[in-house]
Amino acid sequence: QLMKVFVTRRIPPEGMKILRQSGICSLSVWDSDEPVPHAELLKGVAGVHGILCLLTDRINAEVLDAAGPSLKVISTLSVGFDHLAIDEIKKRGIRVGYTPDVLTDATAELTVALLLATARRLPEGIQEVKSGGWSSWKPLWLCGYGLSGSTVGVVGLGRIGMAIAQRLKPFGVKRLLYSGRHPKPQASEVDGEHVPLEVLVSKSDFVVVSCALTPETQGLCDKAFFSKMKKTAVFVNTSRGAVVNQEDLFEALSTGQIAAAGLDVTTPEPLPVDHPLLTLKNCVVLPHIGSATYSTRGTMAELTATNLLAGLMGTAMPSELTL
Ligand code: GLV
Ligand code: GLV
């Protein structure tokens, strides 16, 4: 008898192909580009052995109970797993697959793009060209901040943080600071200096957040954090929106406490179009596209499918989360 799998969204065909060709599962797919409504998720997972989910699906005790004791594996198409109730999952002996490594390069590239776009005011410039605001070359117009000779601070030097540091160093970054619980041996590859968070925040010209969302990092970037930053500093977040207190960020940006912010992640997602942050010229917001290259999303789908099958068969996963 085939094992039942619920796939919570239309995913890249590379992943579906692997699931279909496995011959071990019967698939039920929420075949849409939009998230599955909660009620449909609860219905869809009833009695399944595996769930293939996205970071937009909150997999909590209610969902796990709706699935019931048949559930062996949850495979998420993401590196982040803050949407999964890990304690509840662990308690039930369910295995979890995720997608580290394969999206590191794409996410680091997007972070560099967002940092430069924010610091050099690209969206503002584009808007001026389109609206007729470009009247002449002007010495004092649309000036921003450059990386050459700067100090960059990376909050969370994990896989993605390292890849960001490796890409930024060749721009002529003078000092590379990083914070986190432990010094990382690999930091020497980017001449990274492990410093307390307060030091990083106060010394950096660019503060780049690349840490996982955990109870310790939730709301980490708050009023106290922004008040320690230089008035000329640029803040960039490509991790999770909830690491930032957005009201405090809005205040810091609108009062000139910091120069600018680039966000690929927000709370909530999507950010409502009338959100105060979107009224600010010095805030660049992207719709959570860190890993969005065709090839990376295809590879993520393959890995997610392969993790799921391994979980169903009880074999080793290519990328299993240690619970
Ligand atoms: C994206 O944010 C991911 O966690 O993969
Ligand atoms: C986080 O999971 C990272 O890869 O940095």
Predicted confidence at residue 320, as pLDDT, reads 98
Judge contact between 96 and 321, C-beta under 8 A: yes
- Residue 276 sits in a domain of what CATH number? 3.40.50.720
- Backbone φ and ψ for 245, nearest 5 degrees, come out as -85, 105
Predicted confidence at residue 65, as pLDDT, reads 98
Predicted confidence at residue 221, as pLDDT, reads 98
122 and 93 housed in the same domain = no
165 and 22 housed in the same domain = no
75 and 156 housed in the same domain = no
Task: Look at residue 323 and tell me if it is in a domain.
Answer: no
Tallying the residues shown for the chain, one arrives at 323
126 and 247 housed in the same domain = yes
Task: Look at residue 89 and tell me if it is in a domain.
Answer: yes
- Residue 305 C-alpha to ligand 2 middle, in angstroms? 20
Alpha carbons 37 and 261: distance in angstroms, whole number: 32
State whether the beta carbon of 208 lies less than 6 angstroms from ligand 2.
Answer: no
Averaged pLDDT of the chain: 98
Tell me if residue 293 falls in helix, strand or coil: coil
156 and 25 housed in the same domain = no
88 and 19 housed in the same domain = yes
**What residues does 320 pair with on adjacent strands?**
97
State whether the beta carbon of 100 lies less than 6 angstroms from ligand 2.
Answer: yes
Judge contact between 282 and 259, C-beta under 8 A: yes
Over residues 59-74, the mean pLDDT reads: 98
Which among 234, 159, 228 has a CA at the least distance from the CA of 196?
A: 228
Task: Look at residue 154 and tell me if it is in a domain.
Answer: yes
Predicted confidence at residue 57, as pLDDT, reads 98
Task: Look at residue 146 and tell me if it is in a domain.
Answer: yes
180 and 67 housed in the same domain = no
pLDDT tens digits for range 174-217: 999 999 999 999 999 999 999 999 999 999 999 999 999 999 99
Instruction: Find the angle CA(206)-CA(242)-CA(56) to the nearest 5 degrees.
Output: 120
pLDDT tens digits for range 10-26: 999 999 999 999 999 99
Q: How confident is the model at residue 124 (pLDDT cuts 50, 70, 90)?
A: very high
109 and 224 housed in the same domain = yes
State whether the beta carbon of 160 lies less than 6 angstroms from ligand 2.
Answer: yes
230 and 257 housed in the same domain = yes
Alpha carbons 195 and 205: distance in angstroms, whole number: 15
Provide the residue range defining the domain that includes 32: 3-100+294-313
Predicted TM-score (pTM) above 0.90: yes
Predicted confidence at residue 174, as pLDDT, reads 98
Predicted confidence at residue 253, as pLDDT, reads 98
Task: Look at residue 319 and tell me if it is in a domain.
Answer: no
Alpha carbons 166 and 161: distance in angstroms, whole number: 9
118 and 65 housed in the same domain = no
b/e map 230-246, b = 16+ CB within 10 Å: beebbbbbbbbbbbbbb
Predicted confidence at residue 28, as pLDDT, reads 98
Q: Report the domain count for the chain.
A: 2
Ligand 1: residues with CB < 6 A are 55, 78-80, 103, 290-291
Predicted confidence at residue 10, as pLDDT, reads 98
273 and 299 housed in the same domain = no
Task: Look at residue 320 and tell me if it is in a domain.
Answer: no
Task: Look at residue 114 and tell me if it is in a domain.
Answer: yes
As to burial, measured by CB atoms within 10 angstroms (0-12 exposed, 13-18 middle, 19+ buried), residue 176 is buried
State whether the beta carbon of 290 lies less than 6 angstroms from ligand 2.
Answer: no
| Amino acid (1-letter code) at residue 173 | V
**What residues does 3 pair with on adjacent strands?**
25
Q: Which atom of ligand 2 lies nearest, measured to the CA of 104?
A: 4
Q: How confident is the model at residue 300 (pLDDT cuts 50, 70, 90)?
A: very high
121 and 204 housed in the same domain = yes
Over residues 43-69, the mean pLDDT reads: 98
Helices (H), 3-80: 13-22, 38-44, 61-67
Judge contact between 106 and 296, C-beta under 8 A: yes
Task: Look at residue 155 and tell me if it is in a domain.
Answer: yes
Q: How confident is the model at residue 229 (pLDDT cuts 50, 70, 90)?
A: very high
Predicted confidence at residue 206, as pLDDT, reads 99
pLDDT tens digits for range 27-50: 999 999 999 999 999 999 999 999
Alpha carbons 252 and 223: distance in angstroms, whole number: 8
- Backbone φ and ψ for 320, nearest 5 degrees, come out as -100, 135
pLDDT tens digits for range 278-292: 999 999 999 999 999
Alpha carbons 202 and 224: distance in angstroms, whole number: 11
| Amino acid (1-letter code) at residue 15 | G
Element (H, E) at 197: helix 197-203
